[in-house]
């Protein structure tokens, strides 16, 4: 059976219960992959000698491995460990877990900060990308045996998420007003009343009366447009058009819901005083957490860019090698050609082919006029007007008709037992393929 994953409900019941939404909202592997969560189904009975597991380890460089048997007898500080596992956190590195026996839940946050519960059962191997918020809990079976993999010396350091329920840190999440306003603007079914602007960096209330009557009560329990506008004002929104109700805030952008948390409410002076005393320290703590998270993300980006740079270097090196080979080949062709051109027998052979070509053409004309059909394959292609009498002209023709030249040179070799030891076949093939080479040849002469 494939991996099972679903969006969680919001209830505070026992963490070991499945916490399905009602109705169930399953999450596909594709959706997980978009979050960077990768999945394999392996045979857990064969984990010691599994070639498929070997391949994953090899390809991804997981040279470290250990087994974690999560039961009270085998783990010191069992309860405390479980508690820590269930504390939402991120790591600087991937977290790779392979379930060998028992079962349990990995919860990961999606981009809209919703919890997705991933049910790990025997044979399930998942990779959580670095920097994804997650947690782990046993399920009601109360037992799991996990393989843990890592690149090099393992570092399991968790960076716990700032505690949202803490009053001082709450301000790092957008307020209900902002989320609700965002939802109203996002709702495309009311686009004729309120919608994003064309540039997606502001929103327009097209029909203030209808907006107040229909949209506001859905979210705010009132129908007062001016009160809504006042609220926008306290959050630093600007009315950016004198003709219509268009509002903008640098952090209120279509498709960038996560930026909402940066919109701060302007406070009255009395609020500022009390808040700054009690909340100041916690706000700072929150900012430190945020900065730490940003730093982790930046470090990850750096690692990614370094890897990219490495692969570009290798590619460049390969291209340089290829270029060198091509240059050598070109030089060989030029030498070959020059030698040929200097030989009367070669030119004779070319002329012969030219005459033959003209003869064929004439014959073809005859066939066409007598049968009314053109047969592609019977005749050797030739366009006599391209050939001239002097060498320069010959060359023009020669370069356009690599095959002709090729045949002529072969005939020439046949006649004289040519001293060329190079692989003329290969060279000519390369030669006739490249038009720039032809130009080059002309200049060269």
Ligand X SMILES: CSCCC(=O)C(=O)O
Going by the annotation, the residues of the binding site for Fe(2+) are 89, 91, 95, 134
Based on the shown chain and the rule CB under 6 A, indicate whether residue 159 belongs to the binding site for ligand X. Answer: no
- Three-state SS sequence of 39-78: EEECCHHHCCCCHHHHHHHHHHCCCEEEEEEECCCCCCCH
Taking the complex as a whole, how short is the minimal distance between the CB of residue 119 and Fe ion, in angstroms? 17
Taking the complex as a whole, how short is the minimal distance between the CB of residue 134 and Fe ion, in angstroms? 6
Binds ligand X by CB under 6 A, chosen from 40, 85, 159, 379: 85
Q: Which parts are annotated binding residues? A: 89, 91, 95, 134
Closer to Fe ion by CB, 21 or 148: give it. Answer: 148
Residues 47 and 100 sit within 8 Å (Cβ to Cβ): yes
Based on the shown chain and the rule CB under 6 A, indicate whether residue 107 belongs to the binding site for ligand X. Answer: no
Taking the complex as a whole, how short is the minimal distance between the CB of residue 162 and ligand X, in angstroms? 17
Based on the shown chain and the rule CB under 6 A, indicate whether residue 136 belongs to the binding site for ligand X. Answer: yes
Q: Is the peptide bond before 254 cis (omega within 30 degrees of 0)?
A: no
Closer to Fe ion by CB, 95 or 404: give it. Answer: 95
Q: Which parts are annotated binding residues for Ni(2+)? A: 89, 91, 95, 134
Based on the shown chain and the rule CB under 6 A, indicate whether residue 93 belongs to the binding site for ligand X. Answer: no
Closer to Fe ion by CB, 92 or 329: give it. Answer: 92
Nearest to 263 by CA among 237, 229, 239, 244: 237
Binds ligand X by CB under 6 A, chosen from 55, 66, 80, 156: 156
Tell me which of Fe ion, ligand X, none is bound by residue 146, counting a contact when its beta carbon lies within the kind-specific cut-off of 5 to 8 angstroms. ligand X
Residues 181 and 251 sit within 8 Å (Cβ to Cβ): no
Is the four-CA dihedral 202, 207, 208, 211 of positive or negative sign?
A: negative
Residues that contact ligand X, how many (by CB under 6 A): 9
Residues that contact Fe ion, how many (by CB under 5 A): 1
Report in angstroms the alpha-carbon separations of 402 from 36, 385, 435, 437. Answer: 53, 16, 10, 11
**Cα first-last separation, the chain:** 72
Based on the shown chain and the rule CB under 6 A, indicate whether residue 158 belongs to the binding site for ligand X. Answer: yes
Binds Fe ion by CB under 5 A, chosen from 94, 95, 124, 139: 95
**DSSP 3-state of 140:** coil
Tell me which of ligand X, Fe ion, none is bound by residue 85, counting a contact when its beta carbon lies within the kind-specific cut-off of 5 to 8 angstroms. ligand X
Tokens of 82: 């479980």
Tell me which of ligand X, Fe ion, none is bound by residue 182, counting a contact when its beta carbon lies within the kind-specific cut-off of 5 to 8 angstroms. none
Taking the complex as a whole, how short is the minimal distance between the CB of residue 286 and Fe ion, in angstroms? 22
Residues 354 and 387 sit within 8 Å (Cβ to Cβ): yes
Closer to Fe ion by CB, 127 or 184: give it. Answer: 127
Q: Provide the residue count of the chain.
A: 445
Residue nearest to ligand X (CB): 136
- Interacting positions 31-70 with ligand X (CB under 6 A): 68
The span from the CA of 229 to the CA of 252, in Å, is 15
Binds ligand X by CB under 6 A, chosen from 146, 147, 382, 437: 146
Tokens of 137: 């809990």
The span from the CA of 78 to the CA of 208, in Å, is 59
Nearest to 46 by CA among 38, 54, 36: 54
Report in angstroms the alpha-carbon separations of 31 from 7, 24, 25. Answer: 11, 16, 12
Taking the complex as a whole, how short is the minimal distance between the CB of residue 310 and ligand X, in angstroms? 28
Binding site for ligand X (CB under 6 A): 68, 85, 95, 97, 134, 136, 146, 156, 158
Binding site for Fe ion (CB under 5 A): 95
């Amino acid at each position: 059976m494939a991996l099972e994953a679903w969006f969680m409900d919001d209830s505070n019941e026992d963490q070991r219960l499945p916490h399905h939404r009602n109705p169930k909202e399953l999450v596909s592997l594709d959706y997980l992959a978009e979050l960077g969560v990768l999945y394999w189904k392996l045979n857990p009975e064969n984990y010691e000698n599994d070639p498929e597991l070997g391949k994953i380890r090899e390809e991804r460089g997981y040279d470290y491995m250990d087994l974690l048997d999560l039961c009270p007898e085998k783990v010191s500080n069992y309860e405390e460990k479980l508690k820590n596992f269930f504390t939402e956190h991120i790591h600087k590195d991937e977290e790779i877990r392979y379930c060998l026996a028992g079962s349990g839940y990995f919860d990961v946050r999606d981009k809209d900060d919703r919890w997705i519960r991933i049910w790990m059962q025997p044979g399930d191997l998942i990779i959580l990308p670095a920097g994804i918020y997650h947690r782990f809990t046993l399920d009601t079976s109360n037992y799991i045996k996990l393989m843990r993999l890592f690149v090099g010396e393992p570092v399991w350091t968790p960076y716990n998420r700032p505690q949202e329920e803490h009053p001082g840190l709450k301000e790092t999440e957008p307020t209900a007003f902002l989320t609700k306003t965002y939802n109203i603007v996002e709702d495309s079914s009311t686009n004729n009343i309120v919608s994003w602007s064309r540039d997606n960096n502001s929103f327009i209330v097209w029909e203030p009366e209808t907006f107040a009557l229909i949209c506001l009560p859905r979210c705010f329990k009132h129908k007062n447009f001016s009160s809504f506008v006042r609220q926008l004002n306290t959050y630093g929104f600007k009315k950016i058009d004198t003709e219509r109700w268009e509002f903008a805030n640098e952090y209120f952008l279509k498709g960038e819901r996560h930026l909402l948390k940066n919109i701060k409410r302007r406070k009255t002076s009395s609020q500022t005083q009390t808040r700054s005393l009690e909340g100041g320290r916690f706000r700072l703590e929150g900012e430190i957490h945020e900065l730490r998270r940003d730093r982790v993300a930046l470090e990850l980006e750096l690692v990614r860019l370094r890897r990219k740079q490495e692969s570009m270097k290798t590619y460049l090196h390969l291209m340089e090698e290829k270029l060198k080979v091509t240059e050598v080949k070109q030089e060989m062709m030029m030498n070959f050609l020059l030698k040929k051109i200097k030989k009367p027998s070669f030119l004779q052979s070319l002329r012969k082919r030219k005459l033959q070509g003209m003869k064929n053409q004439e014959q073809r004309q005859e066939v066409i006029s007598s049968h009314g059909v053109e047969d592609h394959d019977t005749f050797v292609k030739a366009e006599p007007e391209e050939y001239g009498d002097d060498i320069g002209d010959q060359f023009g023709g020669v370069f356009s008709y690599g095959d002709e030249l090729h045949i002529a040179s072969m005939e020439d070799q046949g006649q004289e037992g040519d001293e060329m030891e190079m692989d003329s076949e290969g060279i000519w093939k390369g030669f006739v393929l490249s038009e720039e080479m032809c130009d080059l040849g002309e200049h060269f002469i």
